[in-house]
Structure 1
Amino acid sequence: MIPAMPATARTARQASVSALRFGRVATMGALAALILFAGVWGSWGTAQHVMLTKGRERGTVRVTRCAEGVCSGPFTPASAGAGARARVEIEQSVAVRSGTTYDVVLKPGTGEAVRSGPAGILYAWVPLGGALLLAAVVVAGGMRLVRPAWVLGLVGAGLLTAVFVALQ
């Protein structure tokens, strides 16, 4: 600033800098919130079946065949009201191997199974873990809030690490 600059010009400049700073923080905050909402939304599609199991068919599936991203096998019921099925499908991932038996919950009205138990719950929340990591970058870089960004990043990394350990 030029020392001879009038006080009104200085306060106008300070006001515009404050307005730009507020706009940046508000925009990046909205983006971080959107990323976190998308992570929860992406996770909830599977997590609801794993976490809210009352009234759903629970049991085990012995994976006998995997092809084209889908594994299948016979379903053995473990809950009241569930019926045995000759074939149900479970999404093939690094966590599903042929010849292994998994605890599952069937999605209502379909033959599609989702892993249950602690490993299934953690696996369902993987999209949220990725969203937490991405939101940490936005919070640190765009909002310049380093400590909250570290918290978001560590929680996301912890969730993804827990999933990795649980699925081994």
Structure 2
Amino acid sequence: MKRTDLLLYAHRAAMGCVALLLLLAGFWSSWDTAQHVLLAKGREHGTLTVAGCGDDTCTGPYDPEGSPPPRSGMTIEKSVAVKKAARLPVVVKPGTDEVVRTGTAGVLHAWVPMGGALVLAGLVIGGGLRLTRLAWGTAAAGGALLVGAFLAL
């Protein structure tokens, strides 16, 4: 085996590891929020009315479904689509005063980091591994996820 062949294999292995690391990081970052939306059975559901927003979060009164009493001071991650007095369907993160948006918009918003990771991995797959069809497919899936989240919010 020639030295250039070894370098080629090492290069491909390194680029494959970088692409895999990007995808794992995107999944891990998304799962922190997505688990509460996707596995919402048995969690407390309700509606948050946005009263005001700070730099990173918005707060407001929370009206739960069922018998629990309404609570104030619940927080949700701020997004560009949140407006004052908006009523959002949410699920409460267990053991916290933090809520996560549910429904299609909530699912897509939770997976936004994975969409960005797919786009970046597409660049690594195309440029580093020279697998253009796989790169276009990966980047297109990430782009579709990002556009879908933008339109849903």
Aligned to 1:75: 62
Deviates more, 1:80-89 or 1:97-106: 80-89
Aligned to 2:81: 95
Counterpart pick for 2:52 among 65, 70, 78 = 65
Counterpart secondary structure, 2:115: helix
8 Å contact from structure 1 (residues 57, 81) kept in 2: no
Q: TM-score, normalised by structure 2?
A: 0.95
8 Å contact from structure 1 (residues 60, 76) kept in 2: yes
CA distance in 1, matches of 2:87, 2:150: 19
Check 1:109–1:18 CA distance in 2 against 1; reply closer, same or farther (3 A cut).
Answer: same
Gaps of 5+ in 2: none
Tell me by how many angstroms 1:58 deviates. 0.6
Note the alpha carbon deviations across 1:24-52, whole angstroms, 9 max, x for none.
Answer: 11110011000000000000000001110
Note the alpha carbon deviations across 1:120-166, whole angstroms, 9 max, x for none.
Answer: 00000000000000001111111111110001010000000100111
Gaps of 5+ in 1: 1-11
- Report the residue type matching 1:105 in the other structure: V
Note the alpha carbon deviations across 1:63-122, whole angstroms, 9 max, x for none.
Answer: 1111232211111112x5644212311121212111110000111011111111110000
- Report the residue type matching 1:72 in the other structure: T
Counterpart pick for 1:157 among 138, 143, 147 = 143
Counterpart secondary structure, 1:113: strand
8 Å contact from structure 1 (residues 58, 82) kept in 2: no
Q: CA RMSD in A?
A: 1.3
Alignment length, in residue pairs?
A: 153
- Report the residue type matching 1:67 in the other structure: G
The structure with more radius of gyration: 1
- Report the residue type matching 2:37 in the other structure: V
1:96-135 matched pairs, under 5 angstroms: 96-135=82-121
CA distance in 2, matches of 1:81, 1:127: 35
Counterpart pick for 1:86 among 53, 56, 72 = 72
Runs of 4+ in 1 over 6 A off after TM superposition: none
Aligned to 1:148: 134
Q: TM-score, normalised by structure 1?
A: 0.87
CA distance in 1, matches of 2:101, 2:109: 8
- Report the residue type matching 2:57 in the other structure: V
